[in-house]
Amino acid sequence: AVANIGVVGLAVMGSNLARNLASREGNKVAILNRSRSKTDELLAAHPEAEFVGTFSYEEFAASLAKPRTAIIMVKAGGPTDAVIDELVKVFEPGDIIVDGGNAYFPDTIRREKAVRETGINFVGAGISGGEEGALTGPSIMPGGSDESWITLGPILKSIAAVAEGEPCVTHVGHDGAGHFVKMVHNGIEYADMQLIAEAYDLIRRGTGKTPAEIAEVFAEWNKGELESYLIEITAEVLRQVDAETGKPLVDVILDQAGAKGTGAWTVQTALSLGVPVSGIAEATFARSLSSHPEQRAAARSFPGPDEEFTVADADAFIEDVRQALFASKIIAYSQGFDEIRAGAAEYNWTIDNGAVSRIWRGGCIIRAQFLNRIADAYAEQPELPLLASAPYFADALARGQAAWRRVVIAATQAGIPSPAFSSSLAYYDGIRAERLPAALVQGQRDFFGAHTYKRIDKEGTFHTQWSGDRTEIEAEDTH
Ligand code: 6PG
């Protein structure tokens, strides 16, 4: 046994993670892949990593020092289960199996329970940062047992990104907590991306600026409170010119967005938990809408507004869009953290939202200057009921709300879809409302289904006898 850590699955993410591990002091990395050629290629391409190449699960297990620790980097779903089954056969109690893929957290809960019965530890770890992050330093969100964290913690700290002097990894919580938090990370990623895309679309159609010119707007925004990886790469994408046609690349890319499922999981889970993640939901639906060309063709002749959309003062409009983007982004993160709070309560995890915000400051796709403010907010008030209500964010929303409304009005009048901007604003107005028409919904429910209601002026549960004399009676609470 010579290696202290192993990696199974050597596609790009796996091989980059293996190289990252090998480059850190004190690590010796065993590698294994289903097909032999990938292992041979990696050994040949990176002799400096001094990998221990292995070609069977037995050889892999024999090469690892105890407690054996292996990170699986294969496709989520069936392939992950297949590798776990093989590892369980050759590992022993106390060893640690880590799934570093984008697993759906209920699968992680199920796998953890099954593997634990063999005495082996199973850790579902979310890893964010794409191919580059895997190689140079990702943000890592491990779940699993406290016991496995003792061995795994130092290894993961050695390869994680560093932000403000701290490694971007923390023991998020037990069993599926790590993959749950990674799922919400991706949901926020969807919202962030959609909001940026809406901002681009509005500026382009309102001011007539070219993609290259709008790239400069984003580069400028990246110097302020919106500073983030996604804003930075947006400027890069908008600057790119297609070699074949000489057009901006963004104009030749088919406008149908793909999705591998993590955004949908975030929304499905939020629906079950009763958490309104409307920004994330609209971002996910916007991708779905884009990907139905036949429906879009069928609707293409629907009329839009009569007037051309032009803004009188381009700079003022761009500043409004910037503020609308920042305000909507606050809502998206606030909703995401709300889902983590609700998930922790439902699944009995102790998740420190402050720690989550700190490990998202570096390495991951949603890394942003603004996560420092989130970390400050949770440091100030760990049990914050609503992130958006922390003073810094409440102030930013108050400052930005007028511009936000102007942008949503302009988009609506111009017939430019802005589902993420407008749903975030609707959430803002909903959450701050003194009274909501939910009272009427309760009345309707009571009318057709005797679902009862509560009153603002006295304790108890009530029902109006709608089909009788319409007097009110006290009733059993049926929700
Ligand atoms: C990350 C990314 C990563 C991946 C997503 C993209 O955190 O590094 O989120 O996990 O790029 O799977 O998701 P879609 O393909 O659904 O956009």
For the stretch 345-379, pLDDT in tens is 999 999 999 999 999 999 999 999 999 999 999 99
Cα separation, 411 vs 415, in Å, equals 6
Q: What pLDDT, in 10s, does the model give residues 223-239?
A: 999 999 999 999 999 99
Of all residues in the chain, what percent carry a pLDDT higher than 70?
Answer: 100
Q: What pLDDT, in 10s, does the model give residues 325-335?
A: 999 999 999 99
Residue 153 is labelled as binding a ligand: no
Please report, in angstroms and rounded to a whole number, the separation of the first and last CA atoms in the chain: 60
Q: Is the CB of 173 inside a 6 Å radius of any atom of ligand 1? A: no
Whether 182 is catalytic: yes
Q: Which pLDDT band, with edges at 50, 70 and 90, does 476 fall under?
A: confident
Distance 266 CA to ligand 1 centre (A): 13
H or E segment to which residue 31 belongs: strand 29-32
Helix (H, G, I), strand (E, B) or coil at 182: helix
Q: Is the CB of 260 inside a 6 Å radius of any atom of ligand 1? A: yes
Instruction: Tell me: pLDDT of 479 over 70.
Output: no
**CB proximity list for 75: less than 8 A, separation 6 or greater:** 101
Distance 12 CA to ligand 1 centre (A): 14
Instruction: Tell me: pLDDT of 113 over 70.
Output: yes
Instruction: Tell me: pLDDT of 249 over 70.
Output: yes
User: What integer pLDDT is reported at residue 307 of this predicted model?
Assistant: 87
Instruction: Tell me: pLDDT of 51 over 70.
Output: yes
Instruction: Tell me: pLDDT of 250 over 70.
Output: yes
**CB proximity list for 220: less than 8 A, separation 6 or greater:** none
Burial status of residue 407 (CB atoms within 10 A of its CB: 0-12, 13-18, 19 or more): buried
Residue 129 is labelled as binding a ligand: yes
Q: Which amino acid is at 197?
A: A
The best mutation among 194, 262, 287 to test binding of ligand 1, ranked by most ligand atoms within 8 Å of the C-beta, falls on 262
Q: Name the DSSP letter for residue 27.
A: -
Q: Is the CB of 129 inside a 6 Å radius of any atom of ligand 1? A: yes
Q: What pLDDT, in 10s, does the model give residues 391-448?
A: 999 999 999 999 999 999 999 999 999 999 999 999 999 999 999 999 999 999 999 9
Q: Which is catalytic among the residues 28, 86, 112, 182?
A: 182
User: What integer pLDDT is reported at residue 356 of this predicted model?
Assistant: 98
Instruction: Tell me: pLDDT of 306 over 70.
Output: yes
Backbone angles phi, psi at 321, to 5 degrees: -65, -40
Residue 435 is labelled as binding a ligand: no
**CB proximity list for 374: less than 8 A, separation 6 or greater:** 333, 337, 357, 387
Place of tokens 């400052």: 399
Residue 451 is labelled as binding a ligand: yes
Q: What is the ipTM, given to two decimal places? A: 0.96
pTM: 0.96
Helix (H, G, I), strand (E, B) or coil at 244: coil
Proportion of the chain in helix, strand, coil states, percent, rounded to 5: 55, 10, 35
Q: Which token pair is 398?
A: 């108050």
Q: Is the CB of 128 inside a 6 Å radius of any atom of ligand 1? A: yes
Backbone angles phi, psi at 182, to 5 degrees: -65, -40
Q: Whose CA is nearest to atom 12 of ligand 1?
A: 260
Distance 19 CA to ligand 1 centre (A): 21
User: What integer pLDDT is reported at residue 1 of this predicted model?
Assistant: 80
Closest CA to 236 of 255, 254, 252, 250: 250
Q: Which pLDDT band, with edges at 50, 70 and 90, does 83 fall under?
A: very high
Q: Is the CB of 273 inside a 6 Å radius of any atom of ligand 1? A: no
Whether 189 is catalytic: yes
Q: Is the CB of 314 inside a 6 Å radius of any atom of ligand 1? A: no
Q: Which token pair is 274?
A: 């009763």
Residue 185 is labelled as binding a ligand: yes
